[in-house]
Chain A
């Protein structure tokens, strides 16, 4: 019986959220290879796009109807750019999103980290202007009980994926200053000193706008 619970716990942690089927893309363009990402970045810059999508980028996204709020399932991909030698240059972040509940309650952050590099990448922390303190946590399911455990670092194996998904790893956004439909920048820090800034799409309590009774708080 204990085994059943343990297995269930492991299954929960390892489970793939159905929401995270996104492919890498840059405004609808598929980016399955790093080379494509580079092309995309160059193209965006040529078109006067800021290196890190700023407010202008969001506004353009809205104008194109590709705004996070309108297409929350749409991929939101960032690559570690101009990283120092040995950095997780191939780390890609897919489908980053927050589950916003109430302003007084932490928001859980989720994403899929894909490491296309030859070496492991180690995520050591995150920060966001929309969060106050931002911590890495993991839900531990043991013997039919759940509790959250703080995590100092997360290893993303070479050529591997790691999911921050409900019931497993998650970011704890302690003082969420956000609303569903918005996109909030989060900077991920890696052990080698490199960083990636990604826009997390803010969803309501049910984690998906299609769900019945999606929060509009």
Chain B
């Protein structure tokens, strides 16, 4: 059970969060001011180099914890994210999806890179060492555990369903409890991301210029 972190995640957040000002979709939760800004240092599966949150300033960032030996919920989640990116059209260029492996012992950079490429080019595989991973998960109250196989028990991985959304400044804005659903709220979630993409921080000029 190395690296096990239990979580009180959204339980506490949802009760208080969701200011009326942000008409979040039914399946998303406004976490502005409740969750720390995006911060991490990880190995980018694509380049093999260390990358930090600073590299994603100016982009809307989705953060999801998973692992590649995950044939059911991870593909379902990543596929739904791919559908949301598709709905965003040209705006998808301003979105990055960070797929952080909770199983770094088994997930090589090469496998991680090939796995994320199956879904969308905006999905970036990230690998962190055990301590950094634990720190990241604690920071965002995300749960994961990896239990290597024993004589009586198969290799088991547990991970949060949640997807966090950060705005262009790196501030945490939304929590999507789960996209591992056959009936996800794609229009609502897309609309929420569009709000962040074209939000007040961009200003009218920014919004206008984006259309030309």
Q: Interface of A with B (CB < 8 Å)? A: 1-2, 4-5, 8, 11-12, 15-18, 99, 101-102, 104-108, 137, 139, 141, 143-148, 150, 165-167, 170, 172-173, 204-207, 211-213, 215, 217
Are B181 and A12 in contact, with the CB atoms below 8 A? yes
Assembled-state Cα–Cα distance A137/B160 (Å): 18
Minimum CB–CB distance from B120 to chain A (whole Å) comes to 6
Contact in complex: A207, B181 (CB < 8 Å): no
Main secondary structure of the interface of A (DSSP, over half): loop
* Binding-face segment, B31-39, B48-56, B110-118, B199-207: B110-118
List, in ascending order, chain A residues with CB within 8 A of B82's CB.
206, 211-213
Is B158 interfacial (CB-CB < 8 Å)? Answer: yes
Contact call B75/A146, Cβ cutoff below 8 A: no
Contact present for B86 and A212 (CB under 8 Å): yes
Q: How far is the CA of A108 from the CA of B116 in the complex (A)?
A: 17
The distance in angstroms between the C-alpha atoms of A37 and B112, with both chains bound, is 45
Q: In the complex, A207→B73 CA distance in Å?
A: 12
Expressed in whole angstroms, the minimum distance between the Cβ of A205 and any Cβ of chain B is: 4
User: Whose C-beta in chain A lies nearest to the C-beta of B141?
Assistant: A144
Contacts of A137 in B (CB 8 A): 72
Name which of B9-17, B127-135, B166-174 contacts chain A.
B9-17
Find out whether the CB atom of B119 lies under 8 angstroms from the CB atom of A206: yes
Instruction: Tell me the complex Cα distance, A170–B71, Å.
Output: 9
Is residue B162 contacting chain A, with contact meaning CB distance below 8 A? yes
B96 sits at the interface (CB 8 A): no
Q: Which residues of B contact A148 (CB under 8 A)?
A: 70, 72, 156-157
